[in-house]
Amino acid sequence: MKKQIIETRKITVNLPVSLIEPFVREKANLTETIKEALTMYKQNRAIQEFKDSRGKFKFLLSAEELKELRD
């Protein structure tokens, strides 16, 4: 089984101690914690963009035409 190679970049981030402290006390891996937080942030942004687009699409088919296609 081949392992997927994921490109990474080392970064320095200045964060308030109050944000980091609970994870340090739990001995959590900060890298994994930050990766999870960024993933959740990305998902939340996508959901918000989807919600913001509500009512902005024009459909080419009417409701009746869609019902006919279903049958």
Q: Is residue 56 assigned to a domain?
A: no
Q: Is residue 8 assigned to a domain?
A: no
pTM of the complete model: 0.62
User: pLDDT tens digits for 1-28?
Assistant: 778 888 999 999 999 999 988 888 877 7
Residue 43 in this model has a pLDDT that exceeds 90: yes
Q: Is residue 31 assigned to a domain?
A: yes
Q: Which domain holds residue 29?
A: 24-51
Q: Is residue 62 assigned to a domain?
A: no
Q: Is residue 42 assigned to a domain?
A: yes
Q: Is residue 36 assigned to a domain?
A: yes
Instruction: Quickly count: other Cβ atoms within 10 Å of residue 20's Cβ.
Output: 15
Stretch 42-55: mean pLDDT, rounded? 92
The number of domains in the chain is 1
Q: Is residue 46 assigned to a domain?
A: yes
d(CA 67, CA 69): 5
Question: Who contacts 33 (Cβ-Cβ below 8 Å, separation ≥6)?
Answer: 23
| Structure confidence at residue 59 (pLDDT) | 77
| Structure confidence at residue 46 (pLDDT) | 95
Helix 30-52 with 17-25: angle, nearest 10 deg: 120
Residue 33 and residue 23 in contact, taking contact as beta carbons nearer than 8 Å: yes
